[in-house]
Structure 1
Amino acid sequence: MKAASSAPGRVRALDYVAAVTVKAGGRAVPLGGVALPNRRLVLRWLRRQALRLADGHGRYLPAAAPWLGVRDVRPVAFHGSDAPEALRAWAGDHGSQDHAMSALASGHPALLTVVDPFVGLRVTLGAWPVDLCGWVAAAAPANHPYPPRTETEEV
């Protein structure tokens, strides 16, 4: 992990983790995740995954990005259009992206949960900073194998 001093004697985390999980019928399944060196790259990856999942609704998912390869998330079969529309809206909303960027800069998680109301499917996209000891500095989504979440934005 990389670290940089922000003040004498003080170290701040520069590595970030992002993950996408799905929960249905009480069972949580990770769809994929990455560790990247900065919050802009993490949010870019989350936006791409949100659009891939939304664009895959009702048809095949777009091919994985050559620069990400196998790190793109696995597909989800949504039964309605609410969740895909919410994913597209989040990915294209500059205010939501600024809010997520600010949360990560403050050491907090950036989380989005969308729900497919037809079957109770919940997809959570999350990013959080990782501290130098390898512990999650801020909580991750509850359905991810890291510590429980502290806040979730539901759409």
Structure 2
Amino acid sequence: MKAAALSAPGRVRNLDYVAAVTVTAGGQALRLGGVALPSRRLVLRWLRRQALRLADAHGRTLPPAAPWLGARDVRPVTFHGSDAPEALRAWAGDPGSQDHAMSALESGRPALLTVVDPFVGLRVTLGAWPVDLCGWVTAASASRPYPPRTETEGG
């Protein structure tokens, strides 16, 4: 059985993967944005875009929003150093990292990356995971996905 959500009255679309970007600072977690999409490739494409947008916004104006799939971009983060933006760019541009994330999703595990701004202890986590195919995702929960509580991978 495929997980599904109503995308418009009377229309159902498959939502096999969800992704979210969260930031944690001072023990408080804040969701910056998330999506539910029908394929691993699309969910990783969205995460790569968010990683580059967050990195490119460091000291600059954010790039324009993505028009594809109606997927909204995450809210910006102010980094206090260049370590986290460089780590986001490195992950987004590394084919090996993308293959590792794709393999994790393919095997039913989450794909997670956490970068840290060491100056203030800010942690940004990008996560994607398969929807439990035995359950249903409602339109409301699909628009507010949160990463599962697991150990993070990456720097």
User: For this structure pair, what is the TM-score category when the shorter chain's length is used for normalisation?
Assistant: 0.7 to 0.9
Query: What is the aligned-residue RMSD (CA, Å)?
Result: 2.0
2:113/2:127 contact within 8 Å kept? yes
Q: Deviations over 1:61-90 (max 9, x none)?
A: 111012255610000000000000000000
Q: Distance in 2 between matches of 1:68 and 1:83?
A: 27
| SS across alignment from 1:45 | helix
1:126 aligns with 2:138: no
Aligned length: 137
In the other structure, the counterpart of 1:111 is 112
Pick closer, same or farther for the CA change 1:58–1:95 going to 2, 3 Å.
same
In the other structure, the counterpart of 1:101 is 102
Q: Distance in 1 between matches of 2:66 and 2:146?
A: 26
Quote the sequence identity (%): 82
| SS across alignment from 1:108 | coil
Q: Distance in 2 between matches of 1:14 and 1:105?
A: 15
Q: Distance in 2 between matches of 1:124 and 1:101?
A: 17
Q: Distance in 2 between matches of 1:75 and 1:102?
A: 28
Shift of 1:2: 3.5
| SS across alignment from 1:115 | strand
Provide runs of 4+ in structure 1 moved above 3 Å: 144-147
Q: Distance in 2 between matches of 1:55 and 1:14?
A: 29
In the other structure, the counterpart of 2:34 is 33
| SS across alignment from 2:109 | coil
| SS across alignment from 1:71 | coil
Shift of 1:145: 4.5
Shift of 1:134: 3.1
Map residues 3-152 of structure 1 onto 2, 5 A cutoff.
Answer: 15-68=16-69, 71-132=72-133, 133-134=135-136, 145=146, 147-149=148-150, 151-152=151-152
- The TM-score with structure 2 as length reference comes to 0.82
Q: Distance in 2 between matches of 1:145 and 1:126?
A: 8
Shift of 1:147: 4.3
Unaligned runs of 5+ in 1: 4-12, 136-143
**Which of the pair has the greater relative contact order for Cα pairs under 8 Å at 6+ separation?**
2
Pick closer, same or farther for the CA change 1:26–1:99 going to 2, 3 Å.
same
